[in-house]
Amino acid sequence: MTDGGPETSPGSRRAPLGSLVVVLCAVNVIVALDFLGASVLLAPIGHDLHLSTADLAWVVNGYLLTLAAPLIAAGRAADTYGPIRLTRLGLVGFAAGALMTGAANSAEVLVAGRMVQGLGASVLAATGLTLVNAAAPVGDRGRVVGIWAGVGAVGSAAGPLVAGLIEAASVWRVFFLIDVPVALIVAWLLRREHDAPRPARREAVGLRPASWLTVGLGLLVFAVLAGPETGWGSGWVFGPALGGVALLVAFGIDQRHRDDPLIPVRLLRGPGYGAVAVTAWMGNAAFAVVAFFASLYLQQVQGLDPVVAGAVFLAMTIPLMVCSPIAGAWTRRFAGSRLMAVGLVIVGVSVAMFARLGTDDGVLVLVVALVVAGIGQALVFNVSNVAAMAGASGAAGGVASGVINEIRQLGALVGLAVISGLFAALQARASGTAAEAFVSALRFPSLVLAAGCVVAAVYVGVRGAPGLVDARDRDK
């Protein structure tokens, strides 16, 4: 792999990012924009293609399913065959899925395209963190990872605004089709980057256990996604859940007898890794819930058009952009567990503010909540990223990246499914206008999630090891 930039001396903190990190930031923006932006386009897509509500749900869920399930296997593949090579493959896959989605004339092709996009995004998510971590100048890893993660978070928050502008022009297909040339251009920009020499005898990924893990997680995620719509006791939930558990048990048994397991146990047994996992899970669950319900509130309760609603998300974008590099740099001065605990408390405060939303004057409250969320998520995202990679050697960087991203995406899926299911049940029993029912039903789920963030913060603060951050990144 080419050098990500010159090394910094102990007193230097502003080394150039390096061309590879800049390109990886562009990759992060591409994937992040698509993550939330597609949700704003569901209405015009449904109208144009005559899709049912169930079909539209899978436009989002199909993408999330194929994004979350293969992350660990993709990380191991990156360690085996090289993260640069896998990144190029992921970009091509993402572009192919975007082309299918943008050209779709039926629900089947549309959902299939979204699933191909999700698979490409999964590969990019698994390789991005390990490449940035390796390319960052010695002594400046926290700041560089913070910039990379902050750019991705800004892309997520800007997605609704970009999609709203495209919807205003009545050309929803452009939102997906524009990904095709952009992804291919970024892949071309990586032409001069090369993976570090691999050992003569490459370690096999282990196709069979990797497939067990991927399909098992995929079935469990499918069950979680199907639960709110079909009922948690239905066959569409019980069958996939049972199959997923069986495959994961088979995977666990297989891995116990392998000298080189797909997920090295030392990564999970590292000091304070439980705190990192809890932070990643709960932080992304809160991020998904905040983004989802903020968008619905602005459009369904306040009646704002998608462009204005998307612009409101700048209240979260700006703090993320400003605070992410700062949070990454703080990992060189403060204990990672304390930073993550503080971040979770701040995120909990932002979620609790959703219980204060009203039908008339709630926009100001929401803007403040988004600002607070941006500050808290800057700590949660960046410190957990740096801490997750602290114990990973270069040979296991892809797996470490895949594991933390797997935890993060599953947190978003499960958190959003549980909170939205609870919200739907309360909304069905609420009285008054649709707007009044919305804000009434949102209060209790918001407080539940906020309490979960605080409990997680206490666990992280008490159980997390103080030395979570790579000692190589500390000032001497």
pLDDT per position as a tens digit, 242-264: 999 999 898 888 888 777 777 76
Q: Is 139 left (phi over 0), alpha (psi -120 to 50) or beta?
A: left
Is 467's pLDDT higher than 60? no
DSSP 8-state class, residue 15: -
Model pLDDT for residues 305-361, shown as the tens digit of each residue: 777 877 888 888 788 878 877 887 787 777 778 889 999 999 999 999 999 998 887
Count other Cβ atoms within 10 Å, centred on residue 188.
11
Residue 140 clears pLDDT 50, i.e. is over it: yes
Question: What is d(CA 68, CA 291) in angstroms, rounded to the nearest whole number?
Answer: 18
Q: Dig out the tokens for 193 from the structure.
A: 């980057």
Torsion of CA 260, 263, 267, 273, to 10 degrees: -160
pLDDT band at 11 (very low <50, low <70, confident <90, very high): very low
Average pLDDT of 434-453? 93
Taking alpha carbons only, the member of 328, 415, 334 closest to residue 379 is 328
Q: Yes or no: say if 291 and 310 are a contact pair by the CB < 8 Å rule.
A: no
Phi-psi region of 3 (alpha: psi -120 to 50; beta: other; left: phi over 0): beta
Check the CA dihedral 10-16-17-20 and report its sign. Answer: negative
Coil, helix or strand at residue 393: coil
The three-state DSSP-derived secondary structure of 359-421 is CCCHHHHHHHHHHHHHHHHHHHHHHHHHHHHHCCCHHHHHHHHHHHHHHHHHHHHHHHHHHHH
Q: State the pLDDT at residue 114.
A: 93
- Which helix H or strand E contains 213, and what residues bound it? helix 207-230
Q: How far is CA 359 from CA 297, 362, 365, 411, 421, in A?
A: 9, 6, 11, 29, 22
HEC letters along 176-192: HHCHHHHHHHHHHHHHH
Question: In this predicted model, what pLDDT tens digit does every residue of 390-439 receive, in sequence order?
Answer: 655 544 556 666 777 788 888 887 888 788 878 888 988 888 888 899 99
Helical axes 273-296 vs 362-390, angle rounded to 10°:
150
DSSP code, position 61: H
Confidence (pTM): 0.75
pLDDT tier at 366 (50, 70, 90 boundaries)?
A: very high
Phi-psi region of 52 (alpha: psi -120 to 50; beta: other; left: phi over 0): beta
DSSP E strand boundaries for 261-320 = none
Q: What is the pLDDT of residue 136?
A: 67
Tell me, what's the pLDDT at 326? 83
Exposed (0-12), middle (13-18) or buried (19+): which is 19, by Cβ within 10 Å? middle
| Cα-based distances in Å from 364 to 110, 227, 292, 351 | 37, 34, 18, 15
Q: Quick check: 198 pLDDT over 70? A: no
**Which candidate, 366, 416, 359, 402, places its Cα nearest to that of 264?**
402
pLDDT score recorded for residue 444: 95
Residue 237 pLDDT class (50, 70, 90 cuts)? confident
Average of per-residue pLDDT values in the chain: 79
User: Helical H runs in 5-49?
Assistant: 19-40, 42-49
Q: State whether residue 149 is helix, strand or coil.
A: helix
pLDDT of 367-385, one tens digit each? 999 999 999 998 888 788 7
Confidence class for position 231, pLDDT limits 50, 70, 90: confident
Nearest to 344 by CA among 283, 271, 261, 421: 283
CA distance 274 to 463: 8
Compute the distance between CA of residue 453 and CA of residue 438 in angstroms, rounded to an integer: 23
- Mean pLDDT score, 187-215: 70
Per-residue pLDDT band at 170 (split at 50, 70, 90):
low
pLDDT band for 466, please (50, 70, 90 cuts): very low
Q: CB–CB of 369/93 below 8 Å?
A: no
Please state, in angstroms and rounded to a whole number, the distance separating the CA atoms of residues 152 and 299. 24
Q: Are 187 and 92 in contact (CB under 8 A)?
A: yes
Q: How many Cβ atoms from other residues are within 10 Å of residue 392's Cβ?
A: 25
Q: Is the pLDDT of residue 230 over 70?
A: yes
**Does residue 78 contact residue 398 with C-beta atoms inside 8 Å?**
yes
pLDDT of residue 218: 84
For a pLDDT cut of 70, what percent of the chain falls above it? 81
